[in-house]
Amino acid sequence: MKNFEDRLKKVSRKAPSPQLDRRVEELLAVRPRRRLAVNVWWAAAACLLTGLVGFTAGSVGGRAPAAQPATAPQEVALQVVYSSPGSPNPFDLTSVNDSATTKPWKVITSVNQGDTL
Q: In terms of CB distance, is 23 or 103 closer to another protein?
A: 23
Nearer to another protein, 35 or 63 (CB): 35
User: In angstroms, what is the minimal distance from the CB of 29 to another protein?
Assistant: 9
Question: Minimum Å distance from CB 6 to another protein?
Answer: 10
Residues in CB range of 112: below 8 A, 6 or more apart: 94, 95, 96, 97
Residue 105 CA to residue 78 CA, distance in Å, equals: 12
CB of 43 to another protein, least distance (A): 19
CB of 44 to another protein, least distance (A): 21
Q: Which residues bind another protein (CB under 8 A)?
A: 1, 4-5, 7-9, 11-17, 19-21, 23-24, 27-28, 31-32
Nearer to another protein, 20 or 76 (CB): 20
Contacts 24+ apart (CB under 8 A), 100-106: 100/76, 101/74, 101/75, 101/76, 101/77, 102/72, 102/73, 102/74, 102/77, 103/72, 103/74
